[in-house]
Amino acid sequence: MLHSIRRRAGFGSVVLLILVFAAGAAAAGEADIVDAKARRGADGTYDFDVTVRSNDRGWDYFADAFEVLTADGRLLGRRVLLHPHENEQPFTRELYGVRIPDGVDRVVIRARHKPKGYDGRTLTLPLPR
């Protein structure tokens, strides 16, 4: 009997693990922000290094931009991505000289996918002061 309980508990753990991974995969979009770093320059503007994971499949299906926004959705900066990154996943690109309004202590970063739009994971990033 003890062997049967252990076997069922192990099976339940495997099922739970599969469900957790499936939920994470379902939440992923065609272009997800997976990491970002911000640096404040001497002039008070910010530079961002943004890492995107996207499902690029050629010129008609790729991550074509990322944006830095305030928490309430105001656009602060955009980097247009000019080509697919099929063989470079995830990839990191920079955005320089972003002016951040006074009182904003964190930003939201999102990626756009051609043709899916903004369907992927965003990242909220606290800003260094």
Report the CATH number at residue 49: 2.60.40
Task: Please give the angle made by the CA atoms of 27, 113 and 26, to the nearest 5 degrees.
Answer: 15
Instruction: Assess if residue 24 is contained within a domain.
Output: no
| Inside any domain, residue 47 | yes
Question: Do the domain assignments include residue 5?
Answer: no
* Within-domain flag for 121: yes
Q: What is the number of structural domains in the chain?
A: 1
24 SS3 class: helix
Going residue by residue through the chain (129 aa), what tens digit of pLDDT does each one get?
544 444 555 544 444 334 334 344 445 789 999 999 999 999 999 999 999 999 999 999 999 999 999 999 999 999 999 999 988 999 999 999 999 999 999 999 999 999 889 989 999 999 998
Question: What pTM did the predictor assign?
Answer: 0.77
* Domain membership flag for residue 13: no
Its domain, for residue 73, covers 30-126
